[in-house]
Structure 1
């Protein structure tokens, strides 16, 4: 059994994507404490007025404000075959990192918000992605995993396709349930400070903030 691998305030790289700028205290705390902060192109514009500077700016640079000055390393990737967020993930992987936190991955465009969540599935075997929004922490599991939680935390489970899932520590327990993306496994709740999930296939776990 694997335990939750990522610690939100360790030396894990942080990507700020070009969605809605985060406002939740958890997100802002992650931004302030990031040792390595990577902006995907236009997201750097949102940081320019704050006392937070990106370490790197990655992308095709078609959205960055040319009138602003950034004291950051620029990684110019003009490929149109993937998104700027995917370019950032690929670069982080090439640098030897195997964990990453993503902020700003939702809002503004629903198509991009959805694709950004699919990237967690796509890179599951290569890199452990945790997306943190103003409402949820989103991670991906397969197999058995014990996850830190708190009483009455909202927990939603969304599989990539179909999956056989069991749980321990949730209000509405699952016992080898054959689940799909029909919405029947959203809005569950944690009973204590941990819960356990076993899944036959890749599964997104949404956990609400306090």
Structure 2
């Protein structure tokens, strides 16, 4: 099951692709309301959602899960845990980018923590964690970046800069690689790596 988690970022417009379940994290419900999209669940401490919008969703049968402001998990982590409890096999994180860079970095930590496919998506880039072997179709000329969360050993095939060796967080040699084939292969033998797959090449 694919679960979409909508955070409280800076987007004004949201295009949801095919999904099975939608979780709004606190103020993420404001964006869904603006785009006439009904979530299945709203979760968080509810300090960012407009009360009128919250009451509207509540009256229309949306599940509301309220948590205290002082807690050990972020609202995003609560949403991920809830998605896993719903047997999610894939989780996409949307509207995650705003002024809180600390929250973005925390999201990368959550991707590492939970052993389920989690992809953070914008219109320009997909971000996820690599742990094993992946073969996938691509377009020539796509930009990819790889950042090791710790010391990681991996190989890259189908890229302009093929690689077979170790990457470390303090030596970012995996930035700005380019696909030269319609099919790539990524093998992670040790450790974990964050990937950035740019759908629109950044400047």
Q: How does the TM-score come out when normalised to structure 2? A: 0.87
Q: Which runs of 5+ in 2 are unaligned?
A: none
1:138/1:204 contact within 8 Å kept:
yes
CA distance in 2, matches of 1:171, 1:16: 34
Structure 1 ranges of 4+ moved more than 2 A: none
Report the counterpart of residue 11 of structure 2 in structure 1: 21
The structure-2 alpha-carbon separation of the partners of 1:100 and 1:109, relative to structure 1 and needing over 3 Å to count, comes to same
Q: Residue in 2 aligned with 1:88?
A: 79
Question: For residues 22-61 of structure 1, what are the structure 2 equivalents within 5 Å?
Answer: 28-30=15-17, 33-61=18-46
In the TM superposition, residue 80 of structure 1 has moved relative to its aligned partner by 1.4
2:131 pairs with 1:142: yes
Contact 2:9 2:97 in 1 (8 A): yes
Q: Is the contact between residue 141 and residue 203 of structure 1 (CA under 8 Å) also seen in structure 2?
A: yes
RMSD: 1.7
User: Separation in 2 of the partners of 1:118 and 1:106?
Assistant: 15
Match of 2:64?
74
Q: Does 2:85 correspond to 1:98?
A: no
Is the CA contact 2:12–2:31 (under 8 Å) kept in the aligned structure 1?
A: no
SS in 2 for 1:34: coil
Number of matched pairs: 192
1:163 aligns with 2:152: yes
Contact 1:22 1:103 (8 Å CA) reproduced: no
Tell me by how many angstroms 1:147 deviates.
2.7
Q: Distance between the aligned counterparts of 2:76 and 2:29, measured in 1?
A: 13
The more displaced of 151-160 and 139-148 is 139-148
Unaligned runs of 5+ in 1: 1-10
Secondary structure (helix, strand or coil) at the match of 1:48 reads: helix
- The answer to whether structure 1 residue 179 and structure 2 residue 167 are counterparts is yes
